[in-house]
Amino acid sequence: MRLFGTDGIRGQVWKEPLTRENILRLGYVLGKRFPRILAVRDTRESGEEIEELLAEGITQGGGQLTSAGVLPTPSLAYLVPSFRFALGISISASHNPFLDNGIKLINQFGRKLSTREEKEIEEETLSLTYLNLNRGKNWKKVGMDGFYRDFLISHGKDLGGMKVLLDSASGAGYRVAKEVFSSLGARVKEISPKPNGRNINLTGSENPQEISWKMKRTRATVGFAYDGDADRCIWIDEHGEILNGDHTLYFMARKFLEEGRRWNRRVVATVMSNLALEEALNEMGVLLYRSPVGDRFVFQKMMHIGAILGGEQSGHTIFRKILPTGDGILTSVLIASYLAEKGEKPSLWREKLTLYPQKNLDIPVKSKRPLERLKGYQEGMRALKERFKDAYFLVRYSGTQPLLRIMVQSKTPEKTEEVMEALEKFLKEILKRENILED
């Protein structure tokens, strides 16, 4: 059994790997290693119990847990080093539905733990056989919203009454995002329902239909949609059209050039980013480097090549000189500040970067057996690449859900659809034959 995936521990609550026993064991191991730990959580109804279990385990291990309550995951990247905690814990399943939850670990520098550190913690956690429970909790609850809010405000500019719609997905950014924009002088409205523990991610960046519809019927300048733990941000123009993380990278690169910022003109995106982004950046004299999917890999590539800007199409955008991780609220503050400064409409930037037609499809699977080991997979993929030389496609397992993800890009919708149909048929045949296709 494994605990850690590509983004911490994640799964359906009270089932492997996120059982109560595993959470207690993990807390114990963390308490032995880290004396002072800061935790935040999103709005899922299971979050408080997970936090209590962690607190009990951490106490038994000899550590102390400080809870800052409901705050976005990226707040830890600022708060942990600022207040000299040894470790940060985010209790969140990010963009997943409410039945899921997760545990992400952030080191003293505000970065995710390395895979080596996660493996060591996992091995020690799974080796434990028994814990003596009910010994109490060395647990403090401290309000830290104001410190994080002030940090975000410090990176914004006067928005001069700009009308902004926010959709926080009834998640961790529900309060703080509105407070930040109001403090910067915006006329702001939060459109997602008040969190009730179960409505997280029903709207937001994963389901932006509501904010898109409302943008079309208001005179708002811009809308921003986050996911459940507010590390992602997409934006919506005044016509209700969506701009994703690729638009954000293009927009910020152009702004860096316009303001004469000293940087090495290198941007990191993932293999999922649109080919049009790469072409547009190259025309500006900016080089695009690609990493595997996952903000951990984006940041590692940024460090390797010295890039200060990087991100994912899904809306994770990393401004390395500010934070070592994606922060959706920070991203929206920077975008709004630039728009206000120049008096620009977001639709201008959607028109400047016209993305090639792209289609994504998820196929449920029973297990994630390595694709290259499936009989006929490599030969079939080579044949498809030879057949569709004018298209770009990617097949990979989700790092956090039992899904096989397919992405296709080409220069016409018709070709994109044709390639997707061929890929879907081929992959489902392989998965069914190997008995790993989920019915």
The Cα–Cα gap between 40 and 73 comes to 7
The Cα–Cα gap between 290 and 158 comes to 34
Residue ranges per structural domain of the chain: 9-143, 146-242, 244-327+345-352, 358-433
- Is there a contact between 128 and 28 (Cβ–Cβ < 8 Å)? yes
410 is catalytic: no
Place of tokens 């993990």: 26
- Count of CB atoms within 10 A of residue 395's CB? 18
The domain defined by 146-242 folds into Alpha-D-Glucose-1,6-Bisphosphate; Chain A, domain 3 (3.40.120)
User: Which two three-digit tokens encode residue 310?
Assistant: 């990087």
pLDDT of the residue at 390: 87
Sorted by sequence, the CB contacts under 8 Å of residue 277 that are 6+ apart come out as 246, 249, 250, 269, 288, 353, 355
Provide the β-strand partners of residue 10: 102
pLDDT of the residue at 63: 94
> Buried b vs exposed e over 64-73: b needs ≥16 C-beta within 10 Å?
bbbbbbbbbb
pLDDT of the residue at 408: 95
CATH of 244-327+345-352, one of 3.90.1660.10, 3.40.50.1370, 3.40.50.300, 3.40.120.10: 3.40.120.10
The Cα–Cα gap between 88 and 118 comes to 14
Instruction: Report the SS3 class of residue 412.
Output: coil
- Is there a contact between 9 and 40 (Cβ–Cβ < 8 Å)? no
Sorted by sequence, the CB contacts under 8 Å of residue 267 that are 6+ apart come out as 249, 253, 281, 286, 287, 288, 289, 307, 309, 310
Whether the domain at 146-242 and the domain at 244-327+345-352 fall into the same CATH topology: yes
Class of domain 358-433: alpha beta
Q: Of the listed 92, 94, 192, 337, which one is catalytic? A: 94
Closest CA to 383 of 354, 349, 425, 355: 425
- Is there a contact between 52 and 23 (Cβ–Cβ < 8 Å)? no
The Cα–Cα gap between 178 and 172 comes to 12
> Buried b vs exposed e over 35-48: b needs ≥16 C-beta within 10 Å?
ebbbbbbbbbebbe
User: Which two three-digit tokens encode residue 69?
Assistant: 């309550």
Q: What is the pLDDT along the chain (439 residues), one digit of tens a residue?
A: 689 987 899 999 999 999 999 999 999 999 999 999 999 999 999 999 999 999 999 999 999 999 999 999 999 999 999 999 999 999 999 999 999 999 999 999 999 999 999 999 999 999 987 666 665 677 889 999 999 999 999 999 999 999 999 999 999 999 999 999 999 999 999 999 999 999 999 999 999 999 999 999 998 999 999 999 999 999 999 999 999 999 999 999 999 999 888 899 999 999 999 999 999 999 999 999 999 988 999 999 999 999 999 999 999 999 999 999 999 999 999 999 999 999 999 999 999 999 999 999 999 999 999 999 999 999 999 999 999 998 999 999 987 788 999 999 998 999 999 999 999 999 999 999 999 998 7
User: Which two three-digit tokens encode residue 225?
Assistant: 């949609």
The domain defined by 9-143 folds into Alpha-D-Glucose-1,6-Bisphosphate; Chain A, domain 3 (3.40.120)
Q: SS3 for 290-328, per residue?
A: EECCCHHHHHHHHHHHCCCEEECCCCCEEECCCCCCCCH
Give the type of residue at 7: D
Pairing of strands 392-397, 403-409: antiparallel
Place of tokens 């959580």: 41
Q: Starting at the edge strand that comes first in sequence, how are the strands of the sheet with 317-319 ordered? A: 287-291, 266-270, 309-311, 317-319
